[in-house]
Structure 1
Amino acid sequence: MPLASRNHLYALSACEASGDALGAGLVCELMKRDSRARFTGIFGPRMRAAAGSRYEQLYDMEELSVMGIGEVIKSLPRLLKIRKNFKTAVLERHPDVFVGIDGPDFNLSVELFLKKSGIRTVHYVSPSVWAWRSGRIHKIKAATDMVLSILPFEKDFYARYDAPCTYVGHRLAEEIPMEYPITAARLELNFSESVFKSNMVTAVLPGSRIAEITFLTPEFAEAAYLLQKSYPGMRFICAATSAAKARLISRLWREHAPSIPLTIWVGKSHAVMAAANAVILSSGTATLEAMLLKKRMVVCYIISRITAMIGKRVVKVDMYSLPNLLSGKRIVPELIQDDCNPVRICEEVKKIYTQENRDQMLEFARIHKELRMDSDARAAEAVLKVAES
């Protein structure tokens, strides 16, 4: 499409906080390269801030934030209605390209519909087809003109199926410096003098989704109770993605560990993790953040029983966290389902405070360097190439 005949309209859809961060970086870089760029779609707060006055929000990202088969089933009628209306609304606006950011269960269907209708499509963040339901590659290939991969080993998988894929690296590797001094983070969070000097500050991050928070916060709180029995001076800090989620975490924490103080910051996940000596967190993008910040961690995950039963039949990998997947070996502990309990969490956190692991830090640094590729710029260039092709 010649540049003069383009609409300079980019449709985007982000389904959760990590996608909002990727979308914000993409929006900024697209505006640098296309002075007439406008945006429409499903946005989170970071994408809205990046786009300024140049966006039209069709739906808020929070409306799509559900997790696990059980939770999706409950929300299915609402989600299907949103998806149907969203497809129609995007097609009516006829963007130069549609970019679905992660959220494959929602976005791939939108992409397939739009591509069949003549709209070019990009999927940003490959679904984990290399780990489970590999047959999805055929739908991905049919639905997209390009997949933007954030993990280096994914491009080879797509090449086996002759499916277009561009490895762009991960924006967090650019955003987070190779060294993030613990003192700078503690100053940013305005720690009290006694906590500032402590070498026993543990961060707890139970996730960005309601279901994750509901499943994990009680386990984290009861683990904190056990830990403080052994380490009376240990302090606990937390980051939440919104004020509402901070209130939910606070309520659940008080129910399960009423005698253990927890200080919660909203929108300060990098600083909270950087300020900590150890991190207990939900499996997901936060594990990558913790690794890039060179923090020793305990990765936890609990999903509904029905989701877990189905997952056991279809998952092809025996590691789940991004640090382990990127390393190709188990460099951080993973506590999944029944293993994710207060006693096991307490045991793993104690190892962090009593055992050195220099090799783990060296591996964290190696992966950090490998992921640094100016990913926002690479992603924007790939999207423009599809839009202008």
Structure 2
Amino acid sequence: MNNQLSAQATETSEAKAHHTPTFAIVVGEHSGDTLGAGLMVELSRHYPDAKFIGIGGPKMLALGFESLFAMDELSVMGLVEVLGRIKRLLHIRKSLTQYFIKHKPSVFIGIDAPDFNLSLEEKLKKEGVKTVHYVSPSVWAWREKRVFKIEKATNMVLSLLPFEKQFYDKHQVPCTFVGHPLADDIPLLSNKAEARSKLSLPQQNKIVALMPGSRGGELERLVPPFLASAQLLLASDPDVVFVVPMISEKRTAQFNKIRQELAPELPVIVITNQTQDVMAASDCLLMASGTVTLEAALIKRPMVICYKFNLLTYWLAMWLVKLKWFSLPNLLANRTLVPELLQNEVEPAHIVPLIKERLYQDQETLTQAFTDIHKQLKQNASEKAAKAVIELL
């Protein structure tokens, strides 16, 4: 009788665990926070009482996510820059490893941040935790042999881009192409007039968005050449309006401090936490490289993309990375759709002519190319990602 009761209790416990799973998620930056929030919404449709815990950003926290550390602690860009934070990063990863081995989640989902997440995933997988890596590392661009580490660390890779799926299939590593949530969220047609009205921006002026990035180091490197370029553009056309979207109040304060030091007389409109609206309202974008360039392509706005590293990081990247392009729009199109400026090229002499060309010339061909990319990536990504995770449970 006691054995029967014990067996029933075990079955009840297992059934409850199945219906109320715990999803461990770790994200390292704002783009990952967006992916994590979309995934949480879809998983919650299947498991309304599910628990979500790990490291998340503001969008995930608003959905009830329990974050064990602040997401900003993982927001470090560049090989050299990581070295200055390595002790803290190792402490966080060790703490998470110990926590999730003790409190085993139903599945662990590392969203991007591969240098941090893959090692964590590998340790957890060895302990019997099912692991998913959401957003493929750029193994097709550099350090291709990382694909074998990914295979050891994960039960499934969820890729946002179609050519990534082809790469994993070649190496026989489980991968599901889910498309990109941004392509689902952003309409095929972005109304410029509506966006300007929403932000109280002038309807008739040419508007240039200055977008130096979401990380502190990016702002330090890119705000000075962006401001200098804006000054030259304004001198040639006094009616140009400059808008600066910032991801947070912290970055807004950092930008305003730099502007006050370098170009206090330059008229700019700083708008916090409405980046997509600013892009939709603009005629051209001067921006840092990153996921935001894909947002810009989906919103169908011309852009000039800049990449500037710490000098040592730059030389290491040049040695390790073998790519014809570094921006997502060009990689997806497999041709040069948008201009890219790298390191020493990021200066007004190069930037200003490219901005003028895009401000005052027809961009219909570019818009059509962006539309083709949009349709390719519009796959109900969060729903497909959630389905792939559920199939592992």
Q: Taking structure 1 as the reference length, what is the TM-score of the superposition?
A: 0.95
Alignment-mate amino acid for residue 28 of structure 2: C
Q: Secondary structure at the match of 2:324?
A: coil
Q: Deviations over 1:192-214 (max 9, x none)?
A: xxx2331x110011111111111
Tell me if the contact between 1:132 and 1:316 (Cα under 8 Å) persists in the aligned partners: yes
1:162 corresponds to 2:172: yes
1:316 corresponds to 2:329: no
The match for 1:14 among 27, 30, 35 is: 27
- The one of the two structures with greater contact order (alpha-carbon pairs below 8 A, sep at least 6) is 1
Tell me if the contact between 1:274 and 1:295 (Cα under 8 Å) persists in the aligned partners: yes
Tell me which residue corresponds to 1:48.
Answer: 61
Alignment-mate amino acid for residue 40 of structure 2: V
Tell me if the contact between 2:56 and 2:66 (Cα under 8 Å) persists in the aligned partners: no
Whole-angstrom distance in 2 between the partners of 1:121 and 1:357? 43
1:197 corresponds to 2:204: yes
Q: Secondary structure at the match of 1:196?
A: coil
Identical-pair percentage: 42
Cα distance, 1:241 vs structure 2: 1.1
The match for 1:173 among 168, 183, 190 is: 183
Cα distance, 1:5 vs structure 2: 4.1
Cα distance, 1:355 vs structure 2: 2.3
Tell me which residue corresponds to 2:338.
Answer: 332
Cα distance, 1:190 vs structure 2: 2.2
Whole-angstrom distance in 1 between the partners of 2:81 and 2:164? 28
Tell me which residue corresponds to 1:143.
Answer: 153
Whole-angstrom distance in 2 between the partners of 1:362 and 1:82? 45
The unaligned stretches of length 5 or more in structure 1 are: none
Q: Secondary structure at the match of 1:153?
A: helix
Whole-angstrom distance in 1 between the partners of 2:156 and 2:79? 28
Q: Secondary structure at the match of 1:148?
A: strand
Tell me if the contact between 2:24 and 2:54 (Cα under 8 Å) persists in the aligned partners: yes
The match for 2:120 among 107, 110, 115 is: 110
Matches within 5 A, 1:185-264: 185-191=195-201, 195-198=202-205, 200-264=206-270
Cα distance, 1:180 vs structure 2: 1.3
Tell me if the contact between 2:232 and 2:352 (Cα under 8 Å) persists in the aligned partners: yes
Alignment-mate amino acid for residue 329 of structure 2: P
1:368 corresponds to 2:377: no
Tell me which residue corresponds to 2:131.
Answer: 121
Task: Give aligned pairs, total.
Answer: 380
Alignment-mate amino acid for residue 103 of structure 2: R
Q: Deviations over 1:81-109 (max 9, x none)?
A: 11111111122221000000000011011
Whole-angstrom distance in 2 between the partners of 1:249 and 1:124? 31
Whole-angstrom distance in 1 between the partners of 2:34 and 2:246? 15
Q: Secondary structure at the match of 2:67?
A: strand
Whole-angstrom distance in 2 between the partners of 1:290 and 1:180? 11
Cα distance, 1:160 vs structure 2: 1.0
Alignment-mate amino acid for residue 163 of structure 1: V
Whole-angstrom distance in 1 between the partners of 2:246 and 2:116? 24
Whole-angstrom distance in 2 between the partners of 1:380 and 1:264? 36
Q: Deviations over 1:267-316 (max 9, x none)?
A: 10100100111101111011001101110000011001111111111111
1:99 corresponds to 2:106: no
Tell me if the contact between 2:179 and 2:380 (Cα under 8 Å) persists in the aligned partners: yes
Whole-angstrom distance in 1 between the partners of 2:23 and 2:327? 32
Q: Deviations over 1:13-37 (max 9, x none)?
A: 0100000000000000000011221
Cα distance, 1:3 vs structure 2: 5.2
Tell me if the contact between 2:330 and 2:336 (Cα under 8 Å) persists in the aligned partners: yes
Whole-angstrom distance in 1 between the partners of 2:349 and 2:259? 17
Q: Secondary structure at the match of 2:121?
A: helix
Whole-angstrom distance in 2 between the partners of 1:29 and 1:91? 26
The match for 1:278 among 274, 280, 284 is: 284
Whole-angstrom distance in 2 between the partners of 1:172 and 1:56? 24
Whole-angstrom distance in 2 between the partners of 1:378 and 1:44? 22
Cα distance, 1:142 vs structure 2: 0.4
Whole-angstrom distance in 1 between the partners of 2:377 and 2:116? 27
Tell me if the contact between 2:212 and 2:219 (Cα under 8 Å) persists in the aligned partners: yes
Tell me if the contact between 1:224 and 1:257 (Cα under 8 Å) persists in the aligned partners: no
Whole-angstrom distance in 2 between the partners of 1:260 and 1:3? 63
Q: Secondary structure at the match of 2:148?
A: helix
Tell me if the contact between 2:228 and 2:348 (Cα under 8 Å) persists in the aligned partners: yes
Cα distance, 1:263 vs structure 2: 1.2
Larger radius of gyration: 2
1:77 corresponds to 2:87: yes
Q: Deviations over 1:215-257 (max 9, x none)?
A: 1111101110111111111111011111011110111122222
The match for 1:29 among 42, 53, 56 is: 42
Q: Taking structure 2 as the reference length, what is the TM-score of the superposition?
A: 0.94
